[in-house]
Amino acid sequence: MDAQNQIMGYDRAASMFSPDGHLLQVEYAEKTVRLGSASICLTCSDGLVVVADKRVNDSLVIPESAQKVYDIDEHILATAAGILSDARVLVNKAQILAQQHRVTYTTPIDIESVIKEIADTKQIFTQYGGARPFGISMLIAGIDIKPRIFVSDVTGNYLGYAATAIGENDEKIKDILRQEYKESMSIEQGMKLALNIFKRVLGKNFDINRFETAYISSKDKKLIRINREELKKLIK
């Protein structure tokens, strides 16, 4: 980061552009995202799967109390990287949106409508003074017509993916996905691939108890969480 920009105070407000066209507070927030624990999400031939690193390594903490995969609706899940308390605010907003849609139209909401609402909210916090940007990258995945994954960055942009990762080592993980991910994979194969990638990336820090895993099948369109005993069988 240009020290001159900092000296001149261009990093004091999220709405102030530096002379070279940067929103420095937004860029700082993006660095926060890359410090957050990673999540991997893949669409599969029979649904989609997410494996999220909770990064809980304190034996005094109850692992189930550290949630990293959130229910938006029965057919939609979310995970995030960065400041997870920021994510909680957007998860609550998305849950209300999904329930309002069901009450109003008696049908489940489509995935892109949820990510668009979240992305719009994040964008507002890069444009107006008096508030900092959300320090998270948000991943929304679910099944409407087909399995779909969307990721919204700090700026409020969003893109769709067949498979992706957010958080720490995301580029390293995505490089492996580009080589090894196949759309023909089953949910079980997708879980095994994601866990295997984490095992390679984390090395000696890999611990099955760190991960929260869930999937949604195309058949049932309902979020199912995987317990630790089932995960241990997959990693063998």
Q: What is the pLDDT of residues 41-59, one digit of tens each?
A: 999 999 999 999 998 777 7
Is the distance from CB of 168 to CB of 80 less than 8 angstroms? no
End-to-end distance of the chain based on CA atoms, in angstroms? Answer: 44
Is the distance from CB of 80 to CB of 29 less than 8 angstroms? no
- What total of structural domains would you count in the chain? 1
Domain assignment present for 234: no
Domain assignment present for 7: no
Domain assignment present for 134: yes
Confidence class for position 190, pLDDT limits 50, 70, 90: very high
Q: 77: closest CA among 103, 51, 38, 105?
A: 51
Is the distance from CB of 38 to CB of 165 less than 8 angstroms? yes
Number of H helices, E strands in the chain: 7, 10
Q: What is the pLDDT of residues 15-24, one digit of tens each?
A: 788 888 888 8
Domain assignment present for 33: yes
Q: What domain range is 169 assigned to?
A: 20-229
Q: Which CATH number fits the domain that encloses residue 131? A: 3.60.20.10
Domain assignment present for 154: yes
Distance of CA 214 to the CA centre of its chain: 13
Domain assignment present for 12: no
Structure tokens belonging to residue 104: 């109003």
pLDDT at residue 108, as a whole number? 94
Domain assignment present for 6: no
